[in-house]
Each structure stands twice: as structure tokens, then as C-alpha cells.
């Protein structure tokens, strides 16, 4: 007879200051929107002028505007400059490994429908090492919001070619200019089955905020490619989309049918710097909903039966 | 069959010998339902309170290919699937050719005379009994022209030969085939009765198992993979993710099917990296989650495993070992993942490694793994292997009402939280799941960067040293709580045979065999591989030699993986190594002969 040497116990909480009183229960309605002061955590380690600051600022704003509560936000990232994001936000967060943030976040989203799960990261993290996860998270339509801060370069590792670097980009790994065809993130997302696909820049703040809000409200996998300049290794990359630098910021015309996949593809081929806004948005059952249904159906005949008895039935069949 | 047979004359003038145990090997092709015969026999033994252990090889090809199933049924303690068979049932010439040598001298070879031509020179060595199984099966079903069902016909023959309990077998057949098209049950029973009623030419005796005096809980019969999966459910795990690979797939298939009944889910991911990442995400979300794999899939998981170690996040990883490296030998047994389990990955990344010793132990080890993961906030790897995964055993039905656990997360608000508090009792910190309100407004980030007590990244060498110590010391604390294994046999002697994982049974049998031959051998089974329990050196001290027997390669320096670990820990030159990599379970005799030869 085998035994269990380490039994199941009620485990005490650790790292809890004894001096502070435990908070009194508070009705959510009584709680005020979180201010930037309450949402900001560590001061960002980014280079001054890095586009990622704007995305962070808008995330704070989004939390405030939508009256989200600290404890119900979950910010997840992989590795890269942009992926340092969770440290800068006062919310439950995880700084995972390079390229795998979506897989981790899917585990959170699928097991916790009560949370808002946001994932932030870079282009290398998303389309190179994490390419497989990008495809499958989109295909499964897992409910979460994914913002890729696309700077067309590897920032953290100091200027190597990224999967979105344009042909001819001179980097430390392509001193004569890159020759590999870059990924088109919008096409990639639509073909993979993402149900919300949008494009923005870190320089047009009202537009980005609107898009982030729409992404957050979408029931499914929502993806935003946000052009975010790496001032250090690819300065000026997105000037063509910045009016105050002589560029043009072209929004997707309002008559575009966001449920028309082919029309969306067409938009993806607009000449540089492309168009901005919601390319594609459809309603399709999320993995979260499909699994929830599976659970409801499986439990239909088991209402009120304790777990051990469900297991006992299986064991009885093996006698 | 054990030697103490007594013979009695029955009315129909054929002899019946009372036996205590028997090893039956069934050899054919996988599509013949070889496993089904074995399964029926194992289940019958379980229902008859007999001990049973099986061993099977299945080809890794999709359909077809030689396959065997070996059942050892006994009225006493059965520790291994048996070195030699008493009865060989073979369907084809190739089954005959490949397995005749597994038969004991004088053993019975029961062959399908439609397909097998016995070898002249074997006729004097083994007792040959030919039955036209294929054509008789066709006849029994009523001439559909197909011999599908010959496995059940053969089961009938075996039932007659061993005087097995026909009502119980009939019930098992009905349970197995019931619910489908009623003609399927009818056909199966016709096959069975055909075999049972066949007058076997040349077989003058039948055998009867002595009544087993087993009391206590009724037995359940299942495979190691099933036991692990059900153990995970009993432990309270409700989320997991995996990617298919033999022999792990069965576990994920079962969890995928069963977990929704408990309100849980299991996700089939795009690869093993996603699987472990998703499982860690599930753990982070509040409840210990599970993933698993075999062979190459384990290699893929190591980076994320390192994150769990660094971030101190609980997760359970099941490794059903198979022959490696690379794609290796997917359907063969090997114990060559001990190193990757204990040390795989870059950096110093302490984790816990447990290795169940039997099918029953798989069930309890799964629960223990979950409890350790939670209590010590650490990744835990369960090292099963192909043999234990596919083997079917009977064991007392666990007391599920008392065993099943609730490990629901605690979201009670806290005043403040230091996720990596260096002053925590026992040095163990546990993270608080999202959804938990922190009154101070300071929220934790679980991180793979080296960090300070609050989880902020740091480049401080001092903190890295302190945090490395924290991650390591909590496992030292666990070591102090682990039970010290007991020696099987005398506590002093010439040779101590040390094993881990599924070698427990064969090693204990080797001890019995050795003792019966006057050798001073004892056995020690190590279940907790990392950390090792404290005090093993005291056990070693009673012996002149400590011989570690494992199914892996002796490596560059002549020692298997556990032997190397024990030698590095104890610096004890008495620790020696016996290894093999033929993909098969240990033969009891081999363990003994090789250990004794090494310590002459
Ligand atoms: C497995 C692994 N490979 C490589 C790295 C090194 N690395 C860290 S970040 C990074 C690329 C970052 O580029 P991107 O994702 O575009 O983020 P950015 O820094 O530009 O925001 C690389 C290659 C790593 N951390 N892990
Ligand atoms: S290196 Fe580039 S991406 Fe990284 S912080 Fe600096 S500007 Fe931003
Ligand atoms: Mg980048």
C-alpha cells in the first residue's frame, strides 16, 4: 500500500506584512477608478523617447477609463524591451520567457474568466520565436488582448534584424542590409484566425486608445500591431506615418466592412506606411466558451455529485 | 508455474494441478487484439483477488507489427512480469520464432496450427499444443469468413486450460463489448465458448490457481498511465496542457476526456513548449496545473521549467520515459531521463523529481507531486516509464472519499505581499493568484529575471546568491520531511541492490532469488530522486557493495545516472553500477547474476 508522505495542507500565506491591517471587504461599486499614480509601478527602464512609453501611458489611461480593478488585471509578457511592460504596471503580472507569453497567458485566460488578460511584447517575441504560439492562440480564439509593440528591430539585444525589419535594413546581423522578406503582421493574424485585428502607432494616442478599448471589449483573441519606434536602433522608422514629421496617418475608411476577410487582406497591402484602424473583426466562439460548454455538457448528469464520487464511478468500472 | 504443484484426479479423468502462479505470454500482431486478451486476464485476476502484473510491447507503427502481452497471475505477491513464460500462445510463425526462447524448458506452447509450423528441434524442449485457432474462430462465429475474434477464442482456450472462472469472464466480455451492436457481444461470446469448449488434443492436464487469501478493499485494475491521470484528478488538479507523444499521449487523452466532468479542462497545444507554458499559466492563475511528455518533448520543456524554478511557481510535469536520445525507441522502456529531470536546463534550477515504482504507486505519487508542488512552490517532475505506463496491475481500490483533495485557490485579500520574502518561515514563499486584492496597492510580478524580495529585477550578485540559496534550501527542507526508504531484506550483507522507478519489483525478486541461493543480498528502492531523502548513507553502511541497477547507459565514466548522482553525493566508492539499454524490463536473473559478478 502506497502512502502520501507530503499530505495536502492548508498552506499559510507567506510574505504578508503583519503590521498592516488586512483590507476590509469593499464593494466594487464603491471603488474609485484607479489613477495613473495607483497603476504606475517601477519607473520604465526604456530609453528616453522610446515609443513604448506611449503604449504604457495609454494602458494606464485604459485602466482608469474602464474602471478596472487592480486585482482583476493580469499583464503578461515575454522577453524584449517592450516585454518589460509588467514591471511598470501595478497589477498582477508575469514576465515569462521569450516568445511564450501567449501560451502562458492562455493558461491564465482559460482558467480564469474573471480576469482581463493583456499581453504585451515585441515583434521578435511575437513573430519569430513566438510565431507558432501566435498562430495557434489566434486560431483557438483565446480571449485576451495582445499588443505587439513593433519596432522592426531587436531592441533588447541591440539591433539585430527582426522578422518585421524591411528589406535593406542594416543591422548587426545584416550589415549589408536585410534580404529576408518581412512578415506582414496583419495578414499573419487574419490568416491564422484572429477575430480582432487592428493596427496603430504609438504616436497617434487617441487612435491607439480607441483601438485598445475596442480590442478589450472584443470577446475573443484581439490583436493590435502598434508601430512603436526604437529611438536607439531604428530611429525614424515610422516617420512616414507621423504627420508632424511630414508623414500621413491614414485611417481605414469607415465604409470598410470589418467582417470581410478579403477586404481586410486588401488593406494589408496598402503602400507604406499602410493604413490604421480595425482591419478585421468577427464573432466566433472562443476557446473559453467552447471549453465552458464542454464542461456544462459533461456535468449535466453530474449535478450535485461530489468529485470523489465521479472518480469512484470510474474506479468501479475498473474492478 | 511455481513448483509446489499438487495433482488431483478429477471426474473427467484429466488431471488438474493446483498452482500458485503462472506466466502467460501471448504473441501475435497488434491488430489481433493481443492486449485485449491480456486485459481480460488481468481484470479477471483483479476480480479474483489475485495479484497480477503484465508487460507488453506494442509496435510504434500505426497498425500491424508484432506485439506481445505477458501476464503473470499469482495467488501470492507478484513483483515482476516474470523472466520466463510457463505458457506461450502464438499466432504466427514469427511470434513462434521470436518468443519460443522466452518459454521455460518444458513449458507449453499453444499455437495456431493454421499459421504456425513448429520447429522440429523444439518439439523435445517444449510441450507443443496446436489448435487451428483461425479456422475454428471463423466456424464459431458462423462462417463470416473472417477470423476477427480469434483473440477471444484463444481466451476461451486459456480459460479451459487454467480452469478460470467462466461466469466472471463472461461478465467481463459483456461489459467490454456491451452497449455496442448486440451482435458484437454475441460473436464475442460465441468465440469464447468455442475456445472454452474445444477439446484440446495432446493436453492432458489443466491448472487451477490456489485460492488467494486476500482480504481488504476490492481491487481495481488499470495501467500506470491511467493511475497517474486519475491520481492527478484525485489531487484536485483541474487544468493541464499537453502535446501528443507515445507513451505520454494516453494520459493527456484521459485528462482531456475526464477533466470537464470535474469542471476542469485539458488543452491540446501546438507543441510542448506551449504546453508547459500554458500549464504554468494555469498554476499562476491559482491552481497547480499539469503537463507532461516523453522523450523529445521533455527536452523542449526545459526552458519553461527553469522559469518555474526561478519564479517559484508550482507545476507538475509527467515524464513517461522511453528510449532516447532524439526520437530513440518510442515504445521501449528506458530510465535515461533522470539527468534531464534533475538537472535539465541552463543555470541552477532546483526542482523535485519523484519516480513511482508500480501502477498503484503512480496514483499516489501523482497526488504527492501536487502536494509538494504547492507546499514548496516548485516544479515537480514525475518520472514514469514506458513499462509502467503500459503495464496493467491490480491494486486495492483507494479510499477516494478521503483521498480526493480540494486545492482551490485562496483569493482572500491581503494587506501586503512580498512574493520572494527572504525571511519567510522555512524559506518557502507562495505566490498569490491574480484576483487577490493587495491593500497596499503593490502588486507582484512573477518573474524569470533574478529579482529582489518584491520581484523587481536585479543585477545584484548578493541577491542572486541569496535567491539561489532560497530556491535550493527549500528543497533541503523538503528532504528533511521525506521518508527514508526501508531496506528490503536484511539491513546488513554483501550486496545492496539499489533501484528506482519501475525496477522495484524485479529488484525485490532478485533479492528473494539471491537469498534462496544463500547470497547476502538486500534491496533498496529510491522513489524520491531529487532531493534524495536524508540518511541513505546509513543504509549503505550495512553492505560491502552498493550496486545501482538501472536501465540506461553506463556513460563515459562507467556509471548509470542514479549511480552517478549517488556517487557525487556520497563520494562512496562502494557504489557501483549495473546498466543496460535493450529497451526491455529487467530480468530478475540478470540483475542478480550481474550484481554478483561485479562484487565477486
Ligand atoms: C530563448 C531566447 N533566445 C534569445 C533570447 C535573447 N533575446 C531577448 S529579447 C530578444 C529579441 C527582442 O526583440 P523584440 O521581441 O522585437 O523586442 P524589443 O526588444 O524590440 O522590444 C532576443 C533575441 C532570449 N531571451 N531567449
Ligand atoms: S532599445 Fe529601442 S526598444 Fe529598447 S528601450 Fe531603447 S528605444 Fe526602446
Ligand atoms: Mg522589436
The pLDDT of residue B49? 72
Note whether A214 and A312 are same-domain residues: no
Domains and CATH numbers, chain B: 7-209 (3.40.920.10), 221-403 (3.40.50.970), 425-481 (no CATH), 493-598 (3.40.50.920)
- B174 close to A (CB below 8 A): no
The pLDDT of residue B331? 87
Note whether A197 and A70 are same-domain residues: yes
* Closest of A44, A52, A124, A122 to residue A83, by C-alpha: A122
Note whether A71 and A122 are same-domain residues: yes
Residue A114 resides in a domain: yes
Q: Per DSSP, which regions of B94-148 are E strands?
A: 103-112, 127-131
DSSP string, B410-439: ----BS---TT-TTSGGG---PPPTT--BT
| N residues, chain B | 600
Residue A39 resides in a domain: yes
> Which is it for strands A250-251 and B15-19: parallel, antiparallel or unpaired?
unpaired
- B425 close to A (CB below 8 A): yes
Secondary structure (3-state) at B346: coil
* Closest of B239, B277, B271, B278 to residue B258, by C-alpha: B239
Which residue in the set A14, A70, A110 is minimally distant from B430, CB to CB? A14
Secondary structure (3-state) at B212: coil
Secondary structure (3-state) at B349: coil
Note whether A261 and A296 are same-domain residues: no
The pLDDT of residue B208? 85
Note whether A172 and A301 are same-domain residues: no
- B489 close to A (CB below 8 A): no
Query: At residue B205, does pLDDT exceed 80?
Result: no
DSSP type of residue B78: -
B179 pLDDT band, cuts 50/70/90, is confident
Q: How many CB atoms lie within 10 A of CB B411?
A: 15
What percentage of chain B reaches a pLDDT higher than 90?
A: 73
Q: Per DSSP, which regions of B75-213 are E strands?
A: 85-90, 103-112, 127-131, 205-209
A82 lines ligand 1 (CB under 6 A): yes
Query: Is the CB of residue B471 less than 8 Å from the CB of residue B523?
Result: no
Query: Is the CB of residue B316 less than 8 Å from the CB of residue B369?
Result: yes
Secondary structure (3-state) at B30: helix
A46 lines ligand 2 (CB under 6 A): yes
Most B CBs within 10 Å: which of A18, A21, A107, A120, as the mutation test of the B interface? A107
For residue A299, list chain B residues with Cβ-Cβ distance below 8 A: 260-261, 263
Most A CBs within 10 Å: which of B240, B273, B281, as the mutation test of the A interface? B281
Which CA distances in Å does B514 have to B82, B310, B401, B478, B546? 16, 46, 41, 35, 15
Secondary structure (3-state) at B49: coil
* Closest of B149, B220, B522 to residue B394, by C-alpha: B220
Residue A278 resides in a domain: yes
Instruction: Please give the Cα distance from B219 to B260 (Å, whole number).
Output: 26
Q: What is the pLDDT of residues B463-485, one digit of tens each?
A: 999 999 999 999 999 999 999 99
For residue A286, list chain B residues with Cβ-Cβ distance below 8 A: none
A231 lines ligand 1 (CB under 6 A): no
Which residue in the set A6, A23, A135 is minimally distant from B368, CB to CB? A6
Question: Could you write out the three-class secondary structure of B459-526?
Answer: CCHHHHHHHHHHHHHHHHHHHHHCCCCCEECCCCEEEEEEEEHHHHHHHHHHHHHHHHCCCCEEEEEE
Residue A4 resides in a domain: no
The pLDDT of residue A1? 54
Instruction: Please give the Cα distance from A61 to A66 (Å, whole number).
Output: 8
Query: At residue B11, does pLDDT exceed 60?
Result: no
- B446 close to A (CB below 8 A): yes
Minimum CA–CA partner of A94 in chain B: B446
Q: What is the pLDDT of residues B241-289, one digit of tens each?
A: 999 999 999 999 999 999 999 999 999 999 999 999 999 999 999 999 9
A151 lines ligand 2 (CB under 6 A): yes
Note whether A43 and A135 are same-domain residues: yes
CB contact (8 A) between residue A7 and residue B407: no
The pLDDT of residue B30? 81
Instruction: Please give the Cα distance from B90 to B307 (Å, whole number).
Output: 51
Query: Is the CB of residue B72 less than 8 Å from the CB of residue B52?
Result: yes
Note whether A207 and A132 are same-domain residues: yes
B191 pLDDT band, cuts 50/70/90, is very high
- The mean pLDDT value for B475-498 works out to 97
Over the Cα atoms of chain A, what is R_g? Answer: 22
B224 pLDDT band, cuts 50/70/90, is very high
B8 pLDDT band, cuts 50/70/90, is very low
Secondary structure (3-state) at B293: strand
- Ligand 1 test: best mutation among A46, A54, A80, A150, most atoms within 8 Å of CB? A80
CB contact (8 A) between residue B261 and residue A299: yes
Query: Is the CB of residue B566 less than 8 Å from the CB of residue B515?
Result: no
The pLDDT of residue B146? 67
Note whether A177 and A192 are same-domain residues: yes
Question: Could you write out the three-class secondary structure of B386-405?
Answer: HHHHHCEEEEECCCHHHHCC
The pLDDT of residue B6? 41
Q: What is the pLDDT of residues A206-225, one digit of tens each?
A: 999 999 999 999 999 999 99
Note whether A194 and A313 are same-domain residues: no
Most A CBs within 10 Å: which of B434, B467, B479, as the mutation test of the A interface? B434
Q: Please, which residues 215-274 of chain B have a Cβ atom closer than 8 Å to chain A?
A: 218-222, 226, 230, 233-236, 238-239, 241, 258, 260-265, 267, 269-271, 273-274
**Structural domain containing residue A311:** 289-319
Q: State the cell numbers at A93.
A: 503580472
B5 pLDDT band, cuts 50/70/90, is very low
The ligand minimizing its distance to the Cα of A157 is 1
Secondary structure (3-state) at B160: helix
What percentage of chain B reaches a pLDDT higher than 70?
A: 94
The pLDDT of residue B178? 80
- Mean pLDDT rounded to a whole number for chain A: 95
Query: At residue A132, does pLDDT exceed 60?
Result: yes
Note whether A237 and A167 are same-domain residues: yes
Instruction: Please give the Cα distance from A55 to A45 (Å, whole number).
Output: 14
Query: At residue B3, does pLDDT exceed 50?
Result: no
Residue A160 resides in a domain: yes
Minimum CA–CA partner of A111 in chain B: B282
B542 pLDDT band, cuts 50/70/90, is very high
The pLDDT of residue B10? 40
Minimum CA–CA partner of A89 in chain B: B443
Which CA distances in Å does A31 have to A27, A34, A68? 7, 9, 10
Query: Is the CB of residue A314 less than 8 Å from the CB of residue A225?
Result: no
CB contact (8 A) between residue A6 and residue B46: no
The ligand minimizing its distance to the Cα of B273 is 1
Instruction: Compare B349 and B394 and report the one with higher pLDDT.
Output: B349
The pLDDT of residue B68? 87
Determine the distance in angstroms separating the CA of A184 from the nearest CA of chain B, rounded to an integer: 22
Q: Hey, which of A92-101, B193-202, B417-426 has the most confident mean pLDDT?
A: A92-101
Query: Is the CB of residue B393 less than 8 Å from the CB of residue B54?
Result: yes
Query: At residue B217, does pLDDT exceed 80?
Result: no
Query: At residue A26, does pLDDT exceed 60?
Result: yes
DSSP string, B219-249: EEEEEHHHHHHHHHHHTT--EEEE---TTTH
What is the number of domains present in chain A?
2
Instruction: Please give the Cα distance from A282 to A50 (Å, whole number).
Output: 33
Centroid of ligand 1 to alpha carbon of A307 (angstroms): 44
Q: How many CB atoms lie within 10 A of CB A294?
A: 15
Beta bridge partners of B381: B317, B353
Which strand ranges, in their side-by-side order, compose the sheet holding A196-201?
A250-251, A275-281, A196-201, A221-227, A144-150, A116-122, A73-77, A92-95, B445-447
Note whether A204 and A305 are same-domain residues: no
Residue A57 resides in a domain: yes
Q: Please, which residues 176-215 of chain A have a Cβ atom closer than 8 Å to chain B?
A: none
Residue A96 resides in a domain: yes
- The mean pLDDT value for B215-220 works out to 76
A122 lines ligand 1 (CB under 6 A): yes
Note whether A168 and A264 are same-domain residues: yes
Q: State the cell numbers at B180.
A: 455496442
- Residue with grid cell 508487460, as numbered in its chain: B55
Check the CA dihedral B432-B435-B439-B440 and report its sign.
positive
CB contact (8 A) between residue A6 and residue B375: yes
For residue A5, list chain B residues with Cβ-Cβ distance below 8 A: 368, 481-483
- A308 close to B (CB below 8 A): yes
The pLDDT of residue A230? 98
Which residue in the set A104, A114, A294 is minimally distant from B435, CB to CB? A114
- Ligand 1 test: best mutation among A157, A169, A230, most atoms within 8 Å of CB? A157
Residue nearest atom 24 of ligand 1, based on CA coordinates: A98
Whole-complex ipTM: 0.97
- The mean pLDDT value for A200-207 works out to 98
CB contact (8 A) between residue B236 and residue A8: yes
Q: State the cell numbers at B40.
A: 481480460
Q: What is the pLDDT of residues A250-291, one digit of tens each?
A: 999 999 999 999 999 999 999 999 999 999 999 999 999 999
For residue B241, list chain A residues with Cβ-Cβ distance below 8 A: 107
The pLDDT of residue B168? 87
Secondary structure (3-state) at B158: helix
- A74 close to B (CB below 8 A): yes
Minimum CA–CA partner of A7 in chain B: B371
Question: Which run of H or of E encompasses B56?
Answer: strand B51-57
Q: What is the pLDDT of residues B44-89, one digit of tens each?
A: 888 877 777 777 766 555 556 888 888 888 877 788 888 899 999 9
Instruction: Please give the Cα distance from A287 to A296 (Å, whole number).
Output: 14
Question: Could you write out the three-class secondary structure of chain A?
Answer: CCCCCCCCCCCCCCCCCCCCCCCCCCCHHHCCCCCHHHHECCCCCCCCCCCHHHHHHHHHHHHHHCCCCHHHEEEEECCCCHHHHHHHECCEEEECCCCCHHHHHHHHHHHCCCCEEEEEEEHHHHHHCCHHHHHHHHHHCCCEEEEEEECCEECCCCCEECCCCCCCCCECCECCCCCCCCCCHHHHHHHHCCCEEEEEECCCHHHHHHHHHHHHHCCCEEEEEEECCCCCCCCCCCHHHCHHHCCCCEECCCCCCCCCHHHHHHHHCCCCCCEEEEEEECCCCCHHHHHHHHHHHHHHHHCCCCHHHHHHHHHHHCC
- Ligand 2 test: best mutation among A120, A231, A235, A236, most atoms within 8 Å of CB? A231
CB contact (8 A) between residue A92 and residue B260: no
Determine the distance in angstroms separating the CA of A34 from the nearest CA of chain B, rounded to an integer: 10
- Mean pLDDT rounded to a whole number for chain B: 91
- The mean pLDDT value for B288-312 works out to 98
Lowest mean pLDDT among B36-40, B442-446, B543-547: B36-40
Instruction: Please give the Cα distance from B70 to B81 (Å, whole number).
Output: 7
Q: How many CB atoms lie within 10 A of CB A305?
A: 13
Query: Is the CB of residue B351 less than 8 Å from the CB of residue B383?
Result: no
Centroid of ligand 1 to alpha carbon of A63 (angstroms): 27
A123 lines ligand 2 (CB under 6 A): no
The CATH number that applies at residue A263 is 3.40.50.970
Return the ∠ at Cα B373 (arms to B360 and A288), rounded to 5°. Answer: 95
Centroid of ligand 2 to alpha carbon of B312 (angstroms): 29
Instruction: Please give the Cα distance from A124 to A121 (Å, whole number).
Output: 8
Secondary structure (3-state) at B277: helix
> Which is it for strands B352-354 and B379-385: parallel, antiparallel or unpaired?
parallel
A117 lines ligand 2 (CB under 6 A): no
Residue A56 resides in a domain: yes
DSSP type of residue B572: -
- The mean pLDDT value for B109-136 works out to 93
Centroid of ligand 1 to alpha carbon of A124 (angstroms): 6
Query: At residue B564, does pLDDT exceed 90?
Result: yes
DSSP string, B523-557: EEEE-EEESPPTTHHHHHTTEEEEEEEESS--TTT
Instruction: Compare B6 and A240 and report the one with higher pLDDT.
Output: A240
A79 lines ligand 1 (CB under 6 A): yes
- The mean pLDDT value for B443-449 works out to 97
B180 pLDDT band, cuts 50/70/90, is low
Which residue in the set A2, A20, A307 is minimally distant from B262, CB to CB? A307
Instruction: Please give the Cα distance from A94 to B283 (Å, whole number).
Output: 12
Centroid of ligand 2 to alpha carbon of A47 (angstroms): 5
| N residues, chain A | 319
Determine the distance in angstroms separating the CA of A295 from the nearest CA of chain B, rounded to an integer: 4
Amino acid at each position: 500500500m502506497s502512502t502520501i508522505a507530503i499530505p495536502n495542507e492548508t498552506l499559510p500565506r507567506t510574505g504578508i506584512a503583519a503590521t498592516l491591517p488586512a483590507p476590509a471587504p469593499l464593494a466594487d461599486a464603491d471603488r474609485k477608478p484607479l489613477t495613473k499614480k495607483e497603476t504606475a509601478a517601477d519607473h520604465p527602464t526604456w530609453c528616453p523617447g522610446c515609443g513604448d512609453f506611449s503604449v504604457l501611458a495609454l494602458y494606464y489611461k485604459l485602466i482608469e477609463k474602464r474602471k478596472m480593478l487592480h486585482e482583476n488585471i493580469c499583464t503578461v509578457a515575454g522577453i524584449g524591451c517592450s516585454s518589460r511592460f509588467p514591471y511598470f504596471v501595478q497589477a498582477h503580472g508575469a514576465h515569462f520567457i521569450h516568445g511564450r507569453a501567449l501560451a502562458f497567458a492562455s493558461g491564465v485566460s482559460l482558467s480564469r474568466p474573471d480576469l482581463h488578460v493583456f499581453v504585451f511584447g515585441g515583434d521578435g517575441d511575437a513573430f519569430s520565436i513566438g510565431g507558432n504560439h501566435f498562430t495557434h492562440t489566434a486560431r483557438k480564439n483565446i480571449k485576451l488582448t495582445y499588443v505587439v509593440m513593433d519596432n522592426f528591430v531587436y531592441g533588447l539585444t541591440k539591433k539585430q534584424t527582426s522578422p518585421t525589419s524591411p528589406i535593406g535594413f542594416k543591422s548587426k546581423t545584416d550589415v549589408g542590409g536585410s534580404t529576408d522578406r518581412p512578415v506582414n503582421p496583419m495578414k499573419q493574424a487574419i490568416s491564422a484566425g484572429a477575430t480582432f485585428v487592428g493596427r496603430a502607432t504609438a504616436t497617434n494616442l487617441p487612435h491607439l486608445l480607441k483601438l485598445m478599448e475596442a480590442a478589450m471589449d472584443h470577446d475573443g483573441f484581439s490583436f493590435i500591431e502598434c508601430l512603436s519606434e526604437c529611438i536607439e536602433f531604428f530611429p525614424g522608422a515610422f516617420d512616414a506615418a507621423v504627420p508632424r514629421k511630414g508623414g500621413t496617418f491614414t485611417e481605414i475608411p469607415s465604409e470598410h466592412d470589418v467582417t470581410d476577410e478579403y477586404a481586410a487582406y486588401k488593406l494589408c497591402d496598402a503602400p507604406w506606411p499602410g493604413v490604421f484602424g480595425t482591419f478585421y473583426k468577427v464573432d466566433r466562439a472562443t476557446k473559453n466558451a467552447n471549453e465552458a460548454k464542454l464542461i456544462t455538457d459533461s456535468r449535466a448528469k453530474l449535478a450535485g455529485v461530489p468529485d470523489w464520487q465521479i472518480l469512484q464511478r470510474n474506479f468501479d468500472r475498473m474492478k | 508455474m511455481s513448483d509446489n504443484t499438487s495433482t488431483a484426479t478429477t471426474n473427467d479423468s484429466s488431471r488438474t494441478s493446483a498452482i500458485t502462479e503462472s506466466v502467460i505470454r501471448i504473441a501475435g500482431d497488434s491488430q489481433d487484439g493481443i492486449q485485449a486478451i491480456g486485459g481480460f486476464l488481468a481484470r479477471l485476476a483483479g476480480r479474483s483477488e489475485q495479484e497480477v502484473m503484465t508487460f507488453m510491447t506494442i509496435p510504434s507503427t500505426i497498425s500491424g507489427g508484432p506485439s506481445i502481452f505477458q501476464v503473470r497471475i499469482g495467488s501470492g505477491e507478484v513483483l515482476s512480469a516474470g523472466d520466463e513464460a510457463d505458457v506461450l500462445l502464438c499466432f504466427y510463425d514469427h511470434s513462434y520464432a521470436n518468443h519460443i526462447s522466452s518459454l521455460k524448458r518444458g513449458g507449453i506452447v499453444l499455437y495456431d496450427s493454421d499459421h504456425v509450423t513448429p520447429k522440429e528441434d523444439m518439439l523435445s524442449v517444449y510441450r507443443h499444443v496446436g489448435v487451428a485457432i483461425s479456422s475454428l474462430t471463423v466456424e464459431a462465429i458462423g462462417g463470416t469468413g473472417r477470423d476477427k475474434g480469434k483473440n477471444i477464442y484463444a481466451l476461451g482456450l486459456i480459460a479451459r486450460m487454467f480452469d478460470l472462472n467462466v461466469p466472471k469472464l463472461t461478465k467481463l466480455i459483456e461489459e467490454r463489448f456491451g452497449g455496442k451492436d448486440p451482435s458484437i457481444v454475441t460473436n464475442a461470446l460465441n468465440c469464447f465458448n468455442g475456445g472454452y469448449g474445444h477439446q484440446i488434443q495432446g493436453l492432458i492436464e489443466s491448472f487451477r490457481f490456489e485460492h488467494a487469501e486476500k482480504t481488504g478493499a476490492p481491487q481495481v485494475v488499470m495501467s500506470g498511465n491511467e493511475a497517474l491521470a486519475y491520481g492527478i484528478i484525485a489531487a484536485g488538479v483541474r487544468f493541464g496542457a499537453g502535446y501528443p507523444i507515445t507513451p505520454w499521449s494516453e494520459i493527456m487523452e484521459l485528462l482531456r476526456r475526464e477533466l470537464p466532468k470535474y469542471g476542469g479542462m485539458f488543452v491540446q497545444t501546438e507543441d510542448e513548449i506551449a504546453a508547459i507554458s500554458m500549464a504554468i499559466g494555469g498554476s499562476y492563475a491559482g491552481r497547480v496545473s499539469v503537463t507532461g511528455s516523453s522523450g523529445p518533448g521533455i527536452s523542449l520543456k526545459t526552458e519553461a521549467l527553469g522559469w518555474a524554478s526561478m519564479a517559484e511557481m508550482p507545476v507538475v510535469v509527467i515524464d513517461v520515459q522511453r528510449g532516447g536520445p532524439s526520437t530513440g525507441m518510442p515504445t521501449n522502456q528506458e530510465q535515461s531521463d533522470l539527468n534531464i529531470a534533475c538537472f535539465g536546463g541552463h543555470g541552477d534550477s532546483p526542482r523535485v523529481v519523484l519516480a513511482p515504482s508500480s501502477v498503484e504507486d503512480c496514483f499516489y505519487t501523482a497526488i504527492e507531486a501536487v502536494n509538494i508542488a504547492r507546499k514548496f512552490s516548485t516544479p515537480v517532475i514525475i518520472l514514469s516509464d514506458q513499462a509502467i505506463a503500459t503495464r496493467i496491475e491490480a491494486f486495492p481500490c483507494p479510499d477516494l472519499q478521503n483521498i480526493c483533495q480540494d486545492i482551490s485557490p485562496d483569493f482572500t485579500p491581503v494587506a501586503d505581499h512580498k512574493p520572494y520574502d527572504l525571511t519567510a518561515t522555512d524559506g518557502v514563499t507562495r505566490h498569490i493568484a491574480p484576483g487577490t486584492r493587495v491593500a497596499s496597492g503593490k502588486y507582484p510580478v512573477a518573474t524569470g529575471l533574478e529579482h529582489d524580495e518584491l520581484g523587481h529585477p536585479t543585477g545584484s550578485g548578493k541577491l542572486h546568491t541569496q535567491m539561489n540559496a532560497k530556491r535550493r534550501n527549500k528543497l533541503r527542507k523538503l528532504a528533511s520531511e521525506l521518508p527514508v526508504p526501508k531496506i528490503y531484506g536484511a539491513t546488513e550483507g554483501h550486496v545492496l541492490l539499489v533501484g528506482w522507478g519501475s525496477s522495484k519489483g524485479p529488484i525485490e525478486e532478485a533479492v528473494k532469488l539471491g537469498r534462496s541461493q544463500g547470497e547476502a543480498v538486500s534491496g533498496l528502492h529510491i522513489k524520491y530522486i531529487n532531493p534524495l531523502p536524508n540518511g541513505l548513507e546509513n543504509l549503505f553502511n550495512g553492505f560491502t557493495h552498493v550496486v545501482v541497477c538501472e536501465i540506461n547507459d553506463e556513460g563515459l565514466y562507467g556509471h548509470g545516472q542514479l549511480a552517478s548522482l549517488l556517487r557525487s553525493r556520497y563520494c562512496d566508492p562502494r557504489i557501483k553500477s549495473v546498466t543496460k539499454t535493450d529497451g526491455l524490463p529487467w530480468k530478475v536473473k540478470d540483475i542478480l547474476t550481474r550484481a554478483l559478478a561485479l562484487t565477486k
